Amino acid sequence: MEASSTEFIQNNGTMFNESEEAGICVVIRNCKGELMAALSEKIQKPQSVVALEMLVARRAALFACECGFQQLSFEGDSELVIKALKHGEMQHSSVGHILKDTMSYVSSFQSCSFSHVGRQGNFVAHALAQRARLSFPIVVWMESVPPGIMSFVMLDISSIE
């Protein structure tokens, strides 16, 4: 799937308190806010929230590569991770290797920017990260949304406008 304009990547991660698992979600939208691709994945719970947020960023970059997108704007709610991606370095040495992997994916894009955003406008990513609790290890949607998520898509689109 080739992108002709900038795609916006939103991502989210959540720790599941009742298990040793966490959920990762990546949502890729076009400039109109329409969903181009989405991923929901269950992973082993990392040791910290910072590690989870960095793993989410790495998965978002990998997913964008796998889908063939080239012009990207990453939006994340972890200010620490967004700063690390902008500068290519992080104070937490325990996740430096994850940042390095992420930067190798990012370097393959034609253009890439990073923005810190609050949780508002990230409803789909949050809902899909929670949904990972009940799903197979990984589920991918291309140009569609899973049942029960459309209301979150509409909330996200209204927050963009």
Q: Which residue has the tokens 């939208």?
A: 29
Residue 74 lies in a domain: yes
Confidence of residue 130 (pLDDT cuts 50, 70, 90): low
In 3-state terms the chain splits into helix, strand, coil percentages (rounded to 5) of 40, 30, 30
- As given in the structure block, the two tokens for residue 91 are 């104070």
Residue 21 lies in a domain: yes
- As given in the structure block, the two tokens for residue 114 are 């990073």
Range of the domain at 61: 7-160
Residue 37 lies in a domain: yes
Residue 61 lies in a domain: yes
| pLDDT (tens digit per residue) in 70-103 | 999 998 888 899 999 999 888 777 899 999 999 9
Q: What is the mean pLDDT of residues 131-150?
A: 70
Residue 14 lies in a domain: yes
Give the separation between CA 137 and CA 133, rounded to whole angstroms. Answer: 9
CATH of the domain at 122: 3.30.420.10
Residue 131 in this model has a pLDDT that exceeds 90: no
- The pLDDT of residue 99 is 95
Let me know if 115 is exposed, middle or buried by CB neighbors in 10 A (0-12, 13-18, 19+).
exposed
Residue 1 lies in a domain: no
How many structural domains comprise the chain? 1
Across 31-35, 85-89, 131-135, 140-144, which has the greatest mean pLDDT? 85-89
- The pLDDT of residue 1 is 46
Q: What is the mean pLDDT of residues 49-66?
A: 94
Which pTM does this prediction carry? Answer: 0.81
